[in-house]
Structure 1
Amino acid sequence: MKRSGAHLGRISWRLLLLILVLALAGVAAWLWRDFSRFAVTPLRVTASGESIDIGRGTSFKDIVHQLRSEGLSTSSPLYWRLLAERMRVAGRLHAGEYALVTGITPQQLLSNMAQGKVMHRDVTIVDGWTFRDVLQALAKADKLKHDTAGMDSAAIMQKLGAPDQKPEGWFLPETYAYVKGDSDLDVLRRAHDAMNKTLAALWAQRDPNLPLTKPYDALILASIVEKETGRADERSKVAGVFVRRLQKNMLLQTDPTVIYGMGSSYAGNIHKSDLTTDTPYNTYTRLGLPPTPIAMPGKPAIEAALHPAPGDALYFVSRGDGTHIFAATLEQQNRNVACYQLKHCQ
């Protein structure tokens, strides 16, 4: 009987051990499934446009604490640590601002942080904007440092390494991406470099015998073309009119330069008295190009200025629908003005 009892005792202990092993295996399996589910379950992102900002020197523990304190995750810090170790990124997370798109998982977020895929924002310089317009857009750009605040244009150009340049015209219209921590000077520097490269490349391919002695002349003419028409099919025609006028030593007589010269006194309408009031930008009173560009010309406008359409047109007037009608003689121009501006068509 004693042997039988001892044998039963051994069986009981083995059974208990087996049950314990199975229980532990079950718990481990459950934990693994729960951990695996955590890795691919979206974080609690409630709205588009959210982000998380990780400062320099932030430890992994503090990153997880930040995620939890901001309500993005309620999972155990141990799960975050295990996931980072499994992905081999625990010590390779970069500081910066990261986008929290709807549906992003812990695994995706850690991958973005490990690769430094910080959040990018865009600011656009629009064709035909003035330098003042550019500065206003940069001042409104979200998460962009405003280093130019309080600077005048001369100080800004000094910072950009171009102290002898007037800023008008020198920033290429384009969309520029930036990250949190970048400044408006960074964007301006990139736009300035882009314009310099674009202008140099296009100048090297210009048509022969243009009445333009240097690239800056092309930039000025392009800015006038930019303000006169936004239609791709008209840019080279408008440029052709102004090129022929320069060649014939005629006044350019273009309203956008007059308006630019009026500055803040321009209230939306231009009067006959404005056309006779002399300023450096009044092309009704002064021969040749104005002293600076009057806006930021886009690449198509620069191309048009350097490759004007051939022909004999010396005049053009708006039809009132966004297009223009061109004329070779003053008589034709007067008829066009009467018809399309005064509505006295014959």
Structure 2
Amino acid sequence: MIVNEVTGLLEELAPLDYAEDFDNVGLLVGDPMAEVSGILVTLDTLENVVDEALTKGCNLIISFHPIIFKGLKKITGTSYVERVVLKAIQNNIAIYSMHTALDNSPKGVNAKICEVLGVTKTAILIPQKGSIKKLSTYVPRAEAQTLRQALFDAGAGNIGNYSNCSFTSDGTGSYKAGKNANPTKGVIGKTHYEEEVQINITYRKAAESNVLKALFKNHPYEEVAYEIFTLENKDQSIGMGMVGELPNPMPEEFFLKLIKKNMRAACIRHSGLLGKKIHKVAVLGGSGAFAIGAAINAKADIFITADVKYHQFYEAENKLIIADIGHYETEQFTKNVIVDYLTKKIPNFAISLSESITNPIKYY
């Protein structure tokens, strides 16, 4: 396999369009056409991880966190980021990052936390904005069904549990072909009127490339008239965090012990206990304090995340427990998600789970 083929599989799990605007995801280092000798999956790409890849004969590192987050103005080895990039380039090792694309995936970071903690009946905590688009185009009535089906096949027209969703309206289109045109209908230099159908159809932003390819390939006109709108509607199936339920509610102290054990947390920083059983659980891997309000609105009894600041614990307002278990701890199982996924997709390929512990925080 080549690098592009592997990353293409990863983007079926977590399309890069799922990522937040501030992020830096995708292939960060390396040749997309290089043949892959082996894959190493890690949470962070550090120098010791690159060394591990070399030892194991892997020339593609799949990393959750991006080693290059801000622009590099030089690569001289004076920082850990520069040293990693330099070593990777010198040894022809490619580095691919998934980060918030996998955060927002319904089968990503937060789904794994819920699995580890036994949380069921899950839903997205903060559905992603700007991820639903609408295509409006005009096509001769006779060709409308062919085009509509092609758009469905490309991934458009899915709303929740429904597929093949669209709306059409009839009208009359007009155009006059110029001297260099090659009109499908009508003649050059004369205004042509055509009975047309307007097709309106929604699609996820991640499917836009395929949808537009289908539009241009299956539309009969030389010049395709179309409009694309970004909708305010939220996609309930992708986004940050998850909320779900414990099959059997349990006392707060018991659940905190379960979190500590199952998430391998050295300690838990939390707001005051409320003296009631835990039933509804909200989670958000990584720095998730921005979602405290969303967890409260979701009627969660506890919100599990990381990197909560002193004053942010006050935001619990005695409405839920905020539990900070550590950044690394919330995301540590993410590499297992990636390995399990790739192993199913390419079972006969060398895929290694990194043994390097990349947590920069130590507890005394």
Higher relative contact order (CA 8 A, sep 6+): 2
| Structure index of larger Rg | 1
- Higher helix proportion, which one? 1
Q: TM-score, normalised to structure 1's length? A: 0.19
Q: TM-score, normalised to structure 2's length? A: 0.18
- Higher strand proportion, which one? 2
